Amino acid sequence: MKEELLSVGIDLGTSTTQLIFSKLIVENMASSYTVPRMVIADKQIEYKSEIYFTPLLGESQNRIDFEKIRDIVEAEYKKAGIRKEQIDTGAVIITGETARKENAREVVNALGDFAGDFVVATAGPDLESVISGKGAGADEYSKEHHTTVVNIDIGGGTSNLAVFQRGDTCDTGCLDIGGRLIKADADTHRITYIAPKLQEIIQMEHLPLAVGDTATEANVAPVIAIMVSALEASVGLKPQGKYYQLLVTHRGIEFKEPIPCISFSGGVAEAVYQSRKFEDKFCYGDIGILLGEAIARSELCRRMKVIESRERIRATVVGAGSHTTEISGSTITYTKDTFPVKNLPVLKISPREEQENLGESLRKKLEWFEVEDSLQPVAVALTGAENPTFAEVQTYAGELLLGMKALMERGLPVIVIVERDMAKVLGQSMYALLGYGKDVVCLDGVRLQEGDYIDIGRPIAQGSVLPVVVKTLVFHS
């Protein structure tokens, strides 16, 4: 049995805005004699939008022009022949310097509602790093070749790093390094903007470079060299220099092992892989081409094996449209179809807490989610037991309901995510213990960690599985 999901990815980046529509093929991979196991068996890109410069407002350009963004999205939906009601899943990703604009949160939330009922609106450099790395294919390469790969997604305002080891995400980081941190008129090459951190470096180094000057390869070279040196340090090729910590957005990667392979994505990656095709180095009104060419000459490409990216400028939007959705296990319980459910924070129970004092640990952790005596809905995540007895399931159900008493008293939903295959019997046991008077959602097959958020979509495959978007905001090495 196969089923198709239509997914959209929308990326509002520092430099560009773009959309992509993907078809996700959900298939039962189990044999005729085993419990059904639905997985995403294939991902097919159906439509790629044009690439637009992200529209900003005012001389300071501190606000996103939502009206123009909305027009872009509407126009591309029409070109693709797709209505927002057809969208099953996907993500709106606001990235780089655009995520720091004054109205960024309002824009991305409004766009999430506009773009489709189950499109999630997410932001954050950690998530962006992983999505762009998967869009570039770095995770698959590391898995197929049993190696470690770091992907650096270099856009207009930031460089996002993701480390993949044998297919698994190990660490992420982000630096304020990008092609549009210095902007210049594409015709006259007159400098129109220099980012604050680069202004600070220019002043400390006493470099003859300022807004109003004419940009040349020579006068921007020292700043570019400092950015490239920081990227080399970020993957362990040299010690952290004078300006490394200044250029780190919120943290660098902490992966301690040598990283043999590297790939690049983002707009600047075009110049890393194909530098010779650009005759006018300022044709895009920024230093992106020169930054890419400097990276191609750097230790990053001389000392590491450079992997050809599957996607470059489109890596983030492809990742958002194709790599944000997981499928639950086939043993699920939901007593009422109230989906989609969006932006649920995850309360993760550790294996030790699960075995020793599940109910009390859960009760205490729920207090983390209280704000001014108001408790927000949460999804409780745990590992679960392997091949549990009926008695063990009853114990789990009782402890979970004991720990979630505060949620139920406030009329909030009972939502439990179990990693192991026991959700159907566990959910039914909880429902029975509640006297069949409270809605219960219990699903399995999804691994979660503290700091995750999830969205649960409408049931598919004749109601047997649920699509889940996992938004992991922080990774640890």
Give the residue among 53, 61, 44 at the shortest CA–CA distance from 18: 53
Q: What is the pTM of this model?
A: 0.79
Angle formed by the axes of helices 423-433 and 390-403, nearest 10°? 60
Give the residue among 332, 325, 326 at the shortest CA–CA distance from 421: 332
What is the model's pLDDT at position 124?
A: 66
d(CA 371, CA 413): 18
| Residue bearing tokens 């239509």 | 6
d(CA 320, CA 471): 11
HEC-encoded secondary structure of 298-344: CHHHHCCEEECCCCCCCHHHHHHHHCCEEECCCCCEECCCCCCEEEE
Kindly list the distances between the CA atom of residue 28 and the CA atoms of 45, 329, 461, in Å, as whole numbers in the listed order: 21, 11, 9
Strand ranges in 101-158 using DSSP code E only, listed in sequence order: 120-123, 148-154
> pLDDT under 50 in the chain at which residues?
33-34, 473-477
What is the model's pLDDT at position 461?
A: 79
* CB neighbours of residue 197 within 10 Å: 17
Give the CA-trace dihedral at 120, 121, 125, 126, to 10 degrees.
Answer: -30
Q: Are 10 and 52 in contact (CB under 8 A)?
A: no
Q: Are 166 and 143 in contact (CB under 8 A)?
A: yes
Residue 346, strand partner residues: 379
What is the model's pLDDT at position 324?
A: 77
Q: Are 417 and 446 in contact (CB under 8 A)?
A: yes
| Residue bearing tokens 């979660």 | 448
What is the model's pLDDT at position 474?
A: 36
What is the model's pLDDT at position 29?
A: 66
d(CA 49, CA 231): 30
Strand ranges in 68-201 using DSSP code E only, listed in sequence order: 89-94, 120-123, 148-154, 159-165, 168-175, 182-184, 191-194
d(CA 317, CA 264): 15
* DSSP code per residue over 258-314: ---EEEEESTTHHHHH-GGG-SSTTTTSBSHHHHHHHHHTSHHHHSSEEEPPS-STT
Sequence-separated (6 or more) residues with CB below 8 Å from residue 65: 55, 56, 57
Q: Are 118 and 89 in contact (CB under 8 A)?
A: yes
What amino acid is encoded at 88 in this protein? D
Give the residue among 254, 255, 230 at the shortest CA–CA distance from 241: 230
Residue 455, strand partner residues: 469
Sequence-separated (6 or more) residues with CB below 8 Å from residue 245: none
Tell me the per-residue pLDDT of 308-334, one tens digit each, with 9 for 90 and over.
Answer: 999 998 888 888 787 778 888 878 999
Taking only Cα atoms into account, the Rg of the chain, rounded to an integer number of angstroms, comes to 24
Q: Which helix (H) or strand (E) holds 253?
A: none
d(CA 288, CA 292): 6
The verdict on whether omega for the bond into residue 340 sits within 30 degrees of 0, i.e. cis, is yes
Give the residue among 380, 422, 426 at the shortest CA–CA distance from 403: 380
What is the model's pLDDT at position 123?
A: 59
d(CA 21, CA 164): 25
- 3-class DSSP state of 97: helix
Q: Which helix (H) or strand (E) holds 420?
A: none
Give the residue among 378, 359, 396 at the shortest CA–CA distance from 451: 378
Q: Are 152 and 264 in contact (CB under 8 A)?
A: yes
Q: Are 466 and 443 in contact (CB under 8 A)?
A: yes
What is the model's pLDDT at position 266?
A: 93
* CB neighbours of residue 337 within 10 Å: 10
